[in-house]
Amino acid sequence: MIDGQFTLGVEEEYQIVDPESGELRSYIQELIEMRGELNRLSQRGGLRIIAASTHPFSDWKMQDITDQARYHGIVNDMQDVARANLIFGLHVHVGIKDKETAIALTNQVRYFLPHILALTTSSPFWMGRKTGLMSTRTQIFKRFPRTGIPDEFESSVHFKSFVDLLVKTGCIDDAKKIWWDVRPHHLYDTVEVRICDMPTSMDDTVAVVALIQALMGKLYLMYRRNTAFRSYSRSLIEENKWRALRFGTGAKLIDFGRKEERPFAELMDELIDFVSEATDIFGTEAHVKRIKDIALRGTSAHRQIEIYDKNGGATKPVVDWLMAETMRGI
């Protein structure tokens, strides 16, 4: 029933820093090699890379804009909202060939986006301040238009008519400027999950990518059997998203089916069980089970805060840890 679908494409966004101042198996190997090669290239210029969604103390006002027409156009359109967008994320593309199926799975996976965000939080700092959020990136990016949890779409025709209206009225040039937390990609036959912070650990990245693939696979199997996952409103899902970005894996998320708060680790046990049919098909059970470890020990954001507090509020040791953890095992 999978029919060769659910191929993966993974986009990691890295930060380049001054070290002094601060099939799934094939994809795993490719990610490791790319991260290693990027770090080697950076070292040639006396630099290093870190995987995190914000830098602990870097100031966006001191950064140059990438010298490409697209980025200059975005800055011209949005001014300081774009200039201040010094954030980094993980985007996961899951191959879905049929457009109607892609819309249906985009609708259904929205419920799980806060859970995925909580597993990836890595941005507790902004311009030298501990913000009190586990994912500051999420709130920074919220200032952009056409972001966040999308509304439901009835069909691919409904989605296309929405995009066409935005293009016709001068809101966007094309669907590339729709930056929702999940979207059917306008060029590729994929559903792109964009809600993630950038995990620092490669092992955590692999676990989250495997979970997203398995989740999409399970929802697809349910869709084919006419037992689609229940849909919930964007406003309800946003309630869980706030809890995830604020507390990370320490959050109690709302189980809307039971109408009650649930500890995050319990929800991860249930999620692992929920996607088990798909992990059996993909051969990714061991990777997906690692999300329970993340739920229990916390994410990069939790560790960064521990190091910051241990060192009397100094951010340089946090950057040192990020550089080391980014390359651990590579």
Amino acid at 180: W
Predicted local confidence at residue 194, as pLDDT: 98
Do 218 and 279 meet the contact criterion of CB atoms below 8 Å apart?
no
Q: Is 309 helix (H, G, I), strand (E, B) or coil?
A: helix
H or E segment and range at residue 126: strand 125-126
- What are 93-135's pLDDT values in tens digits? 999 999 999 999 999 999 999 999 999 999 999 999 999 999 9
In the chain, the domains with their CATH numbers are: 8-326 (3.30.590.20)
The pairing of strands 89-95 and 15-17 is unpaired
Predicted local confidence at residue 193, as pLDDT: 97
Q: In whole angstroms, what is the distance from residue 271 CA to residue 71 CA? A: 38
Structure-token pair, residue 87: 């954030």
How many Å separate Cα 139 from the centre of its chain?
13
Predicted local confidence at residue 17, as pLDDT: 44
Predicted local confidence at residue 12, as pLDDT: 58
Q: Which residue in the block uniquely carries the two structure tokens 């559903």?
A: 191
Q: What is the mean pLDDT of residues 233-256?
A: 98
In our burial notation (b when 16+ CB lie closer than 10 A, e otherwise), range 230-255 reads eebeeeebeebbebbbbbbbbbebbe
Report the percentage of the chain scoring pLDDT > 70: 94
Predicted local confidence at residue 18, as pLDDT: 44
| Confidence grade of residue 330 (pLDDT, cut at 50, 70, 90) | confident
- What are 203-219's pLDDT values in tens digits? 999 999 999 999 999 99
Find the radius of gyration of the CA atoms of the chain: 19
Q: Is the pLDDT of residue 19 over 60?
A: no
H or E segment and range at residue 59: none
157 CB-side CA count, 13 A: 0
Predicted local confidence at residue 22, as pLDDT: 40
Structure-token pair, residue 12: 């990691």
pTM for the predicted model, two decimal places: 0.92
Amino acid at 92: V
Q: In whole angstroms, what is the distance from residue 183 CA to residue 151 CA? A: 11
H or E segment and range at residue 100: helix 99-109
Q: In whole angstroms, what is the distance from residue 310 CA to residue 316 CA? A: 12
Q: In whole angstroms, what is the distance from residue 321 CA to residue 319 CA? A: 5
Lowest mean pLDDT among 24-38, 88-102, 120-134, 162-176: 24-38
Predicted local confidence at residue 323, as pLDDT: 96
Do 272 and 288 meet the contact criterion of CB atoms below 8 Å apart?
yes
Predicted local confidence at residue 232, as pLDDT: 94
- What are 247-295's pLDDT values in tens digits? 999 999 999 999 999 999 999 999 999 999 999 999 999 999 999 999 9
Predicted local confidence at residue 187, as pLDDT: 85
Average pLDDT, the chain: 92
Predicted local confidence at residue 220, as pLDDT: 96
Structure-token pair, residue 182: 């999940």
